[in-house]
Structure 1
Amino acid sequence: KEIEKGSIILLLSCPIYRDTILNGKILGGVLTITLAISTSITASTGVIMAVIGIMPTIDEAIRLIIYLIASVIYISMYMAISVYTSIATKNTSMSLLISIIVWLTFTQLIYSASSAISALIPEILSETRLKVLTAIRMLTPDQHYYNFSMNILNEKMALEPFGIFLRGAAPGRSLTIIESLAISWPNLAIITSILTAFIAASYIKFLREEVRC
């Protein structure tokens, strides 16, 4: 936005490092996301406790905190994509359009495409159809976030890191937090990698950018 309006020139004329501007944008965005998600989870938990009258156990509280952290990373990933497109295009409208297209691709188009493509495979090859469906859906970070969330919030069932169907824990026992994390950490690692890649790309692009009057 600052680049499009030209106010970036005035901002850079101040005795500050260029990366300070980007630091402020990213940290401000992450803090806003964290506050919004924390408020939402706290309010939801409070309502559930008031209605049901059951306090969450320590295990459940820890799982909620892990889920909160994962949600912040996941939404921050989209913020990082938006920041990069904003720097790359220098146009707020174009950046918004690209960000929406990316979001729709990850949340809708890939899922629709996976169903359509797998439907072309004969039913007799059900195992192949399932593998194709799974492979395509795992291309989106949304599926990785879903898998991680399901494994963290559900101690009775678990999703394979690169699968889309639940499997139960051993009869008579629940998965511990460590076991849930051991199963699902690759999903969070992939989301974090995308977040890191776009933040790094944003810094490289912005620091190398030539600002003209």
Structure 2
Amino acid sequence: MKREGSPLRGVHTVAVKEAADHIASARMHLIMLLLLLVSAGALYAAIGQIKETTAQNPYLFLQLLTAQRQPLPSFASLLGFLLPLLAIGLGFDAVNGEFNRRTLSRILAQPIYRDALLFGKFLGGLLVIAVALLTLWLLTTGVGMLLLGLPPGGDDLARGLAFLVTTLVYSGVWLAVAIAFSTLVRSPATSALAALALWLVLSVFWNMLAPLAAAALAPIDPLNPMSIVTRYETLQAIGRISPANLYSEIASILLDPTSRSVGPVFADQMEGAVAGAPLSTLQSILIVWPQIASMFAAMVVLFTLAYVVFQRQEVRA
């Protein structure tokens, strides 16, 4: 039977309804409270660190996101660790929750296609994460202006916005993971555990497994000094399978204008470069563009997997 009208008709309605449900849910309140408390601690420690080394920090507002004081990590590191929890919490029951509540058949009985339903759920979750990220970024900028007594410069704002957008893409990867598991697994508890297990492996244990895999794939030859470079490049390639490592590389370049590479740099490559000279925002984005594109591609592939599986599932009243 030929479908009538656009398959995406109703996406806006579903997205707004999903976003409203998420914002009003207890799980969202708990996760945002955790984010705010931990971020406030990291920001307080960063401001203390910046005040002690003001002369060595020409990029004060970027330092708010990267400075750290033991035992707290930096603000950017905390975002990379906690945002997947927010995304998984929003998407682990996106589809199987409707099955278990027996509401999916009622929704699809309306003039709305499955395309619009799944896409709307994804956009609704992404909208909530975007609002949360924008709120955190504005709070960080406002507190920094109050305590440092300086307004952010144009380059600080441009890099901060670029970092905000890439952080949203990173969160979208984990939201797509959660929605994919919610279509593959009928039990919401099992889909949540599966998504959390994948997050633990890729965010916590992957840096322990990558050196073992690199040693097996690229052994070092004592007679060939270039084998050390090959080992390092292999280690980087394996490590970049993890979205957390891609996000860490992006943050290190965007939030540090003096950084010029995410890999090994040889002396001939630095010929003509001014030591310590900052790069423009566009040049920094170009350096990490492959990482940004990889995360975006991973998000699209995972959502496509969920889409294909959802289209083939049978819906009964």
Question: If the TM-score is normalised by the length of the shorter chain, which range does it land in?
Answer: 0.7 to 0.9
* Structure 1 residues 191-210: aligned runs within 5 Å: 191-210=295-314
Residue by residue over 1:92-128, the C-alpha shift from the partner in whole angstroms, topping out at 9 and shown as x without a partner, is 0111011001111110121111245568977967545
Q: Which runs of 4+ in 1 moved over 4 A?
A: 115-129
User: In structure 1, what is the Cα distance between the partners aligned to 2:297 and 2:214?
Assistant: 28
What TM-score comes out, normalization by structure 1 length? 0.88
User: In structure 1, what is the Cα distance between the partners aligned to 2:196 and 2:279?
Assistant: 37
User: In structure 2, what is the Cα distance between the partners aligned to 1:122 and 1:46?
Assistant: 50
User: In structure 2, what is the Cα distance between the partners aligned to 1:60 and 1:109?
Assistant: 33
Q: Note the C-alpha offset of 1:189.
A: 0.2
Q: For structure 1, which runs of at least 5 residues remain unmatched after alignment?
A: none
What TM-score comes out, normalization by structure 2 length? 0.60
Query: Which residue does 1:159 correspond to in 2?
Result: 261
Residue by residue over 1:6-52, the C-alpha shift from the partner in whole angstroms, topping out at 9 and shown as x without a partner, is 22122222222222221221111011000111111111111112111
Higher Cα radius of gyration: 2
User: 277, 297, 308: which is aligned to 1:173?
Assistant: 277
User: In structure 2, what is the Cα distance between the partners aligned to 1:59 and 1:11?
Assistant: 47
Q: Aligned AA for 1:185?
A: W
Q: Note the C-alpha offset of 1:70.
A: 0.4
Secondary structure in 2 matching 1:149: helix
Query: Which residue does 2:140 correspond to in 1?
Result: 44
Q: Aligned AA for 1:207?
A: Q
Paired-residue identity, %: 27
- 1:81 matched to 2:177? The reply is yes
User: In structure 2, what is the Cα distance between the partners aligned to 1:173 and 1:132?
Assistant: 30
Query: Which residue does 2:292 correspond to in 1?
Result: 188
The answer as to whether partners of 1:134 and 1:164 remain within 8 angstroms in 2 is no
User: 132, 135, 142: which is aligned to 2:237?
Assistant: 135
Number of positions where the alignment pairs a residue of Structure 1 with one of Structure 2: 210
The answer as to whether partners of 1:66 and 1:152 remain within 8 angstroms in 2 is yes
- 1:6 matched to 2:93? The reply is no
Q: Aligned AA for 1:152?
A: L
Query: Which residue does 2:316 correspond to in 1?
Result: 212
User: In structure 1, what is the Cα distance between the partners aligned to 2:170 and 2:220?
Assistant: 36
Q: Note the C-alpha offset of 1:84.
A: 1.0
Aligned pair in 2 of structure 1 residues 100, 14: CA closer, same or farther (>3 Å)? same
Relative contact order: is structure 1 or structure 2 higher (C-alpha 8 Å, sep ≥ 6)?
1
User: In structure 2, what is the Cα distance between the partners aligned to 1:49 and 1:164?
Assistant: 36
